[in-house]
Structure 1
Amino acid sequence: MPWLEFTAAMILFLAAHRIPAMLGVKHALSAALGPRGYTVLFSAVSLLLLWWVIVAAAQAPYVQLWDHGAAARWGVNLLMPLVAVLVALGVGAPNPFAFEGRATGFDPDRPGVAGLTRQPLLWALLLWSLAHLWANGALAHVILFGSFAGFSLLGMRLVERRRAAMMSRAEWARLTARTALVPLAAAPRWRGGPYARLPWARVAIGLAAWAIGWHLHTAVIGVPPLP
């Protein structure tokens, strides 16, 4: 039964990120709730499903594939603040290339987070997945974090292709001139940096979210974050 619950949780989490767009549910809910309302609803459902997947993975039978030491645990602790800041910089920021961004307010001369990477949330998911994959050698967690890593890589390709198809080639080239998919790859093309000013409020929100998550990790996930 624990394996069945884990499988069901994984299937529902992945389906929730593909089926709404394929069946037109996303469009209908966006029209009814507005883009921001849909984003809030989708984020809440995603977090609940993610929590279920993590809890189900912890309850699955333990099958060790490799040992993980203090170095892996330190790797997670060092990467997670960056992951949290990437999420804070990406969600709702002027970025017409990512599903978590907004099309309005984007300046191709000062592309903001898109100058760092056009897909900050998916890169955050990839870094989170790889760090936790390294630090967890059990079969269920390898399936869990390996699936999320693959999901984020596939998502980058799909989102990039979908957003490019919505624009002409000339428009895509103009808007992406000082951006890149790979983090910091566009740095040589920046003029005075990707930001008009560094969004310190978003950085602070990201670090605060990381600190809260770090302190609640043991209570919510059941595993202390310290090595």
Structure 2
Amino acid sequence: MEASLLHLLVATSSFVVSHFVMSGALRSALMARLGEQMFMLVYSFVSLGTLAWTIVAFDRAEPGPGLWEGTHPLPWLLASVLTIAALAFLLPSFARNPALPGKNAAGLGTVIPGGVFKITRHPMMWGIALWALGHAIAAPTGRSIVLMTGMIVLALVGSHLQDKRKLAGNKREFQPWQRRTSFWPQFSQFGAIGVVWIIAFLVWFLITWVHINFFGIPAGVWLWVG
């Protein structure tokens, strides 16, 4: 493996593994020793530090040849659809999301899921995973695949581990919630977010415009328009 790609692999792995370790195996011990506020400070410092390392390593890594032609209409269309879906999951995930840090779970066991939570109980993490998958399809180079695979693992394995941790910490509230919701996206419920799909498309269109006009990298319809 080329040295810069190996560097990116190490950086990305550090970013992902540090999240898993601090959220799981060492969380209780660190919080007991440091206190909640200091633990969150350390968590944020490590997360931002390893993320910055990953970004620098990605920028310095040689792209290398693609595994396929990402600008071919088929992968380009698939990547665009996945990115729009990612936004449709992500945008409404900030409201009434029991997975967010510090969210009070009181009464969650009686809540009937609505909106995006009819699709999946982890819309934010699935949004990240779909975004990463779309980018890997459109730019299937070695460095993109390493980074995007790391993001997908972080999002989906992290969500699974979070389910187990939440259930262990508050079975009374989270067991009914997890029983009423699905980890895997339910395609039959995609209509539950209605107008969010239109908003997601408009946001996607704006982001792809910024993509080409500010960074010179075509995305979405701008590969053929201009």
Could you say which TM-score interval applies, normalised by the shorter chain?
Answer: 0.5 to 0.7
Alignment of structure 1 residues 44-123 onto 2, 5 Å: 45=48, 49=52, 52=55, 56=58, 59-68=61-70, 69-91=72-94, 93-96=95-98, 98-99=99-100, 102-104=103-105, 106=108, 108-112=110-114, 113-123=116-126
Question: Does the 8 A contact of 1:178 with 1:186 survive in 2?
Answer: no
- For normalisation by structure 2, the TM-score amounts to 0.68
CA distance in 1, matches of 2:131, 2:50: 14
The residue aligned with 2:37 is 32
Identity of aligned residues (%): 22
The residue aligned with 2:207 is 213
- Give the C-alpha shift of residue 119 in structure 1: 0.8
Question: Does the 8 A contact of 2:90 with 2:123 survive in 1?
Answer: yes
Q: Could you list the per-position Cα deviations for residues 91-139 of structure 1 after superposition, in whole angstroms to 9, with x for gaps in the alignment?
A: 2x2233x246833574744323332211111211221222222222322
Compared CA separation, residues 61 and 182, structure 1 to 2 (3 A): closer
- Structure 2: gaps of 5 or more residues: none
Compared CA separation, residues 218 and 152, structure 1 to 2 (3 A): same
Compared CA separation, residues 134 and 161, structure 1 to 2 (3 A): same
Once structures 1 and 2 are overlaid, which stretch shifts more, 173-182 or 70-79?
A: 173-182
Aligned with 1:159 (options 155, 158, 162): 162
CA distance in 2, matches of 1:106, 1:76: 35
When the two chains are superposed, the root-mean-square deviation of aligned CA atoms in Å is 4.3
- Give the C-alpha shift of residue 150 in structure 1: 2.9
Q: Could you list the per-position Cα deviations for residues 148-179 of structure 1 after superposition, in whole angstroms to 9, with x for gaps in the alignment?
A: 223333123211111121223x5444333432
- Give the C-alpha shift of residue 194 in structure 1: 7.0
Secondary structure of the residue aligned to 2:150 is helix
Compared CA separation, residues 58 and 107, structure 1 to 2 (3 A): farther
Compared CA separation, residues 103 and 203, structure 1 to 2 (3 A): farther
The residue aligned with 1:190 is none
Aligned residues: 211
Once structures 1 and 2 are overlaid, which stretch shifts more, 9-18 or 122-131?
A: 9-18
The residue aligned with 1:223 is 217
Q: Could you list the per-position Cα deviations for residues 173-212 of structure 1 after superposition, in whole angstroms to 9, with x for gaps in the alignment?
A: 433343211223795xxxxx979xx796x984x5565344
- Structure 1: gaps of 5 or more residues: 188-192
Question: Does the 8 A contact of 1:111 with 1:178 survive in 2?
Answer: yes
CA distance in 1, matches of 2:208, 2:101: 24
Once structures 1 and 2 are overlaid, which stretch shifts more, 79-88 or 15-24?
A: 15-24
Once structures 1 and 2 are overlaid, which stretch shifts more, 58-67 or 153-162?
A: 58-67
